[in-house]
Amino acid sequence: MNDKEAPRKRAKATKPATKSEPGKPVLLSGGNPQIAKGYGDAPVQAYIAAMPGWKSDVGRRLDAIITRTVPGVSKAVKWNSPFYGIEDEGWFLSFHCFTKYIKVTFFRGTSLRPVPPGKSKHPEVRYLDIYEGQLDEEQFADWVKQASQLPGERM
């Protein structure tokens, strides 16, 4: 190579998804289950069952609180995350696994009282990060009730 030739940059290697046992979902970066897009309770339950460690128990608790608080709630898995909404009204929340916590997204979070603590680059979205042993079920149920009564997000 002479002085006038620029060295080529190497492509940055990406971390592959974690391999799983045959028949079990692959865990993506941060331990988020890779679940095929689907509508209804079955794909959401598959996602929750595949959540690693303590997160699966919290996922079951979140799902139970949402289902109890919003009878007839619509469910789906999109972008490897469970979504909850009101049929023909849109989605009001979703959640996603990260390495050390579960991130709940309230699509109209700035309209909730009190406003959930996690800020977003999207003007109305707010987040709730749930770490092991830190789910305030009463506050979460109150936010779910409020969120379900707001206009939903269409996706």
pLDDT value, residue 23: 57
Number of domains within the chain: 1
The pTM of this model reads: 0.82
| Residue 1 pLDDT | 47
Query: What is the CATH classification number for the domain harbouring 112?
Result: 3.90.1150
pLDDT value of position 24: 67
C-alpha 55/C-alpha 90 separation (Å) is: 26
Helix (H) or strand (E) holding 19: none
Instruction: Decide: residue 55, CB within 10 A, 0-12 exposed, 13-18 middle, 19+ buried.
Output: buried
- Looking at the domain assignment, is residue 16 inside a domain? no
Provide the domain limits for residue 135.
29-148
In a domain, 87, yes or no: yes
What is the per-residue pLDDT for 126? 98
What residues form DSSP beta bridges with 93?
Answer: 84, 106
Q: Please give the pLDDT value at position 21.
A: 54
Q: Is residue 10 part of a domain?
A: no
Q: Which residues contact 103 (CB under 8 A, 6 or more apart)?
A: 95, 96, 118, 127, 128, 129, 130
Residue 21 lies inside a defined structural domain of this protein: no
Alpha carbons within 13 angstroms on the beta-carbon side of residue 44 total 21
pLDDT in tens, the chain (155 residues): 444 444 444 444 444 444 445 556 787 777 788 888 999 999 999 999 999 999 999 999 999 999 999 999 999 999 999 999 999 899 999 999 999 999 999 999 999 999 999 999 999 999 999 999 999 999 999 999 999 999 999 98
SS3 label, residue 63: helix
